[in-house]
Structure 1
Amino acid sequence: MDVIDLKVVEAVARHGSMNKAAAELNTVQSNVSSRIRALEAGLGVALFQRSARGVQLTPAGRRMLPYAARLSRLLADAAAAARDDGTPSGTMEIGTLETTLALRLPLLIARFAKAYPEVRPVVRTGTTSSLIRDVIDGKLEGAFAAGPVSHPELQIETVFHEELVLVTSPAVRTLEAVCAILNLKTVVFRAGCSYRLRLDSFLASLGLVALEPLEFGSIDAIIACVSAGVGVTLLPRGVVADARQSGLICVHEVPAPFSHVETVFVRRTDSHLSSALAIFLQSVHRESGVQTAGVRVA
């Protein structure tokens, strides 16, 4: 078994087709098929189950796949490290929470893009759980997520501190009024959002159990629904400052440990830290005033 064998396994598994894998690998299907057969014979186990609809991994293939994917990431990182001469360039693909994107990143990204025009920042949003999964899978160089986060494959740096507040419609003026709401609903991001979990815990501390949550994909949609009296939510104070100033919502302070959350930046410990990402993180730490051993601030 060699590097090419594992690359072939990863490509076939991803496409579910030896023909499509062959096209990606710039070879013919017969070469892919013969290499898979030879690998299976050498290992003494079947890696794929063949059918008229394509191929699927067997249990043995599923056990092997993470190593093949890890090797592909290492090869891509090796190539990136070889090309990286210290001058920021290329694509910098990172992930972030919707709230962090709205509150913290626009000015930082604008300044960075102006200072380093050879870099193309690509920013993708998601929940903490989905962002962490994408970083571990090598789909993102790193991501801003809600702490605490702990994972043996990740380097984790605190970058921002946020205060969370309970957000209601203007008609709900006190926490006592929240407790009096019949059929209380929460308006939240999709499953995997850490703010959503904190909101459930806070309501439980008040003896409240909300109905099935209403899920939305944007801050604006959540604030609009809360303003209309559909339900309540938990968001960083800075994110809802304008809506509060405009009288669209009412904001309620919540006690520790529900009120304070760290925003962390996570990346794989075994990945290459590109010059572009290193410099961008330096600017993030300068802006926030939070420094860790993970990034040296010039």
Structure 2
Amino acid sequence: MKICDLLTFSAVARCASITAAARELNTVQSNVTNRIRSLEEHIGLPLLERHSRGVTLTLAGVRFLPYVQQALTLLDEAAKVARDEGEPKGKLAIGSMETTLALRLPDILANFRDRYRDVNLIMKINATAWLVDNVLNNEVDGAFIAGPLEHPLLVAEKVFEEELVLITPPHYTSIEQLISDKQDITALMFKQGCAYRQRLEQFLVCIGRPAFQRLELGSLDGMIGCVSAGVGITLLPRSIVLRSDLQLRFGMHEIAPSIAHVPTLFVRRKDAHVTTALKCFMESLVP
């Protein structure tokens, strides 16, 4: 059983397609097919079912996949440990919410890059739920997420505290006016898995407006611009809102502390080796 066979099987399982896996692995389809066949011969059972839409795992493949992922993770971890000679260098992948990247990280990242030139720092931006999965799947070394979070496989340390505020089109002078308004509410939010989205949904339920339209947007600037244009309402960190050039074109309202106050956590796997690069990065978060 060869490592390249396991990597190929993992890619095929993830892509659900021989063609897509070959593209991801930068090889030809025949190589992927041959490696899967070699692995199936070694196991003694078919691992994939081929059909017109691609491939799916057989029951044996489903049972086999978690162990393949564990083996690949352990091999990657072993390589990191072997290369870690006490000097911060090599690749360091960090995940972050867009709001945290925009608000909290620019100076931290700039200082880290200036100080540790041999570290190849890679930032991956996504919503909290996705970032947690990225950490658990060893796709990033650590990530900034919105708390609270308790997970048996993760270490979570609070690094920042955000206060969310409600921003509305300017004709809403108070939350009471929003509550009594008979018009439909449009809630502007990031995609599923965003912790601020969950807080906005919770807020609307708490004020007695559980029926509302959802409009997903992909950027902070787009969200603030849509609020100022009267499209809808949203929750964002106060610091982000105060930096906007559009402040005079929307209303800002305080909300209940139980919803407003959100800790930003830095999370990493408990069982993962803390490389020197990651250790230096975590130390850079301390004022």
TM-score (norm 2): 0.88
Q: Assess, with a 3 A threshold, how the Cα gap between structure 1 residues 55 and 175 changes in structure 2: closer, same or farther.
A: closer
Q: Assess, with a 3 A threshold, how the Cα gap between structure 1 residues 70 and 222 changes in structure 2: closer, same or farther.
A: same
- Give ranges in structure 1 of 5+ residues lacking alignment: 288-298
Select 1:34's aligned residue among 30, 35, 38.
Answer: 38
Counterpart secondary structure, 1:162: strand
Moved more, 104-113 or 145-154: 145-154
* 1:45-124 matches, cutoff 5 A: 45-51=45-51, 55-124=55-124
Q: Distance in 2 between matches of 1:28 and 1:105?
A: 41
Q: CA deviation at 1:261?
A: 0.8
Q: Distance in 2 between matches of 1:260 and 1:102?
A: 18
Q: Distance in 2 between matches of 1:263 and 1:22?
A: 37
2:270 aligns with 269
Paired residues, number: 281
1:128 aligns with 128
* 1:1-298 matches, cutoff 5 A: 6-7=6-7, 9-14=9-14, 16-17=17-18, 20=22, 23=27, 30=34, 32-39=36-43, 41=44, 45-51=45-51, 55-181=55-181, 182-243=183-244, 246-284=247-285, 286-287=286-287
Q: Which string of whole-angstrom CA distances, capped at 9 and with x for unpartnered residues, describes residues 229-260 of structure 1? A: 11111111111112378413221111121111
Q: Assess, with a 3 A threshold, how the Cα gap between structure 1 residues 59 and 31 changes in structure 2: closer, same or farther.
A: closer
Q: Assess, with a 3 A threshold, how the Cα gap between structure 1 residues 190 and 51 changes in structure 2: closer, same or farther.
A: closer
Would you say the 8 A contact 1:167–1:233 is kept in 2? yes
Q: CA deviation at 1:184?
A: 0.8
Letter in 2 for 1:90: G
Would you say the 8 A contact 1:127–1:193 is kept in 2? yes
Q: Distance in 2 between matches of 1:67 and 1:55?
A: 20
Letter in 2 for 1:209: P
Counterpart secondary structure, 1:282: helix
Q: Which string of whole-angstrom CA distances, capped at 9 and with x for unpartnered residues, describes residues 164-190 of structure 1? A: 111112221111121133101111111
Q: Distance in 2 between matches of 1:246 and 1:22?
A: 48
Q: Distance in 1 between matches of 2:98 and 2:244?
A: 16
Q: Distance in 2 between matches of 1:232 and 1:188?
A: 9
Q: Which string of whole-angstrom CA distances, capped at 9 and with x for unpartnered residues, describes residues 171-219 of structure 1? A: 2111112113310111111111111111111111111124221111111
* Identity level (%): 41
TM-score (norm 1): 0.85
Q: CA deviation at 1:22?
A: 11
Q: CA deviation at 1:5?
A: 6.4
1:294 aligns with none
Moved more, 88-97 or 14-23: 14-23
Letter in 2 for 1:160: F
Letter in 2 for 1:273: V
Q: Distance in 1 between matches of 2:204 and 2:152?
A: 32
Would you say the 8 A contact 2:168–2:233 is kept in 1? yes
Q: CA deviation at 1:279?
A: 0.9
- Give ranges in structure 2 of 5+ residues lacking alignment: none
Counterpart secondary structure, 1:213: strand
Q: Assess, with a 3 A threshold, how the Cα gap between structure 1 residues 13 and 250 changes in structure 2: closer, same or farther.
A: same
Letter in 2 for 1:239: I
Q: Distance in 2 between matches of 1:187 and 1:147?
A: 21
Would you say the 8 A contact 1:90–1:120 is kept in 2? yes
Q: Distance in 2 between matches of 1:63 and 1:23?
A: 26
Q: Distance in 2 between matches of 1:131 and 1:186?
A: 23
Counterpart secondary structure, 2:264: strand
